[in-house]
C-alpha cells in the first residue's frame, strides 16, 4: 500500500526567507500524481502545487516549487520569500494514476512564519 511520510511535524521560517518541507512516499507504481495542499486555520484545504510522476521537470507556482526525486521517492516543497499568509498546515499527498479513490495524505507539517 502507498504511504506518505512527512517527517517534520512543525517548521518555522522568518518572513521573506526560504523554507523547505520534506515528504517521502512509498509506491510500486510508475504513474502517479503528487500534491502539496495548504490548510490555513480556516480549515479549507487549498491546492498549492501538483507534480505528474512522468514529468522530469519540477513543478513551479510563483513562490512555490518542488524538488521531485522519483528514484528516491522524495517530493519536497520549497517556499521562497515566505509571507505571513503562508502560515498553515501543509499536507503532501499521493494519488495513483489508475485508482481514482486512492489518494493518501501525510500527517502534515505545521508551518509558522515569524515577522
Partner 1 sequence: DTGVSQDPRHKITKRGQNVTFRCDPISEHNRLYWYRQTLGQGPEFLTYFQNEAQLEKSRLLSDRFSAERPKGSFSTLEIQRTEQGDSAMYLCASSFRGQGNTIYFGEGSWLTVV
Out of 28, 42, 57, 62, the only residue in the binding site for partner 1 (CB under 8 A) is: 42
* 2 CB-near residues (< 8 Å, 6+ apart): 25, 26, 27, 29, 32, 94, 96, 102, 104
Residue selected from 28, 30, 44, 56 as contacting partner 1 according to rule CB under 8 A: 44
Q: Which of 45, 67, 70, 112 lies at the binding interface for partner 1 (CB under 8 A)?
A: 45
Q: Using the rule CB under 8 A, is 75 a contact of partner 1?
A: no
Q: Could you tell me how many helices (H) and strands (E) the chain has, helices first? A: 0, 12
Told to check if 68 binds partner 1 by CB under 8 A, we report no
Distance CA 67, CA 18 (A): 14
User: What is the chain's length?
Assistant: 115
In angstroms, what is the minimal distance from the CB of 97 to partner 1? 7
Q: Which is nearer to partner 1, 85 or 100 (CB)?
A: 100
Amino acid at each position: 500500500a502507498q504511504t506518505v511520510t512527512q517527517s517534520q511535524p512543525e517548521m518555522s521560517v522568518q518572513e521573506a526567507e526560504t523554507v523547505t518541507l520534506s515528504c517521502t512516499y512509498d509506491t510500486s507504481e510508475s504513474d502517479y500524481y503528487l500534491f502539496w495542499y495548504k490548510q490555513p486555520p480556516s480549515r479549507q484545504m487549498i491546492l498549492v502545487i501538483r507534480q505528474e510522476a512522468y514529468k522530469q521537470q519540477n513543478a513551479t507556482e510563483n513562490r512555490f516549487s518542488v524538488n521531485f526525486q522519483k528514484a528516491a521517492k522524495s517530493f519536497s516543497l520549497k517556499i521562497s520569500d515566505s509571507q505571513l499568509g503562508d502560515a498553515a498546515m501543509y499536507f503532501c499527498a499521493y494519488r495513483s494514476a489508475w485508482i481514482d479513490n486512492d489518494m493518501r495524505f501525510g500527517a502534515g507539517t505545521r508551518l509558522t512564519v515569524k515577522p
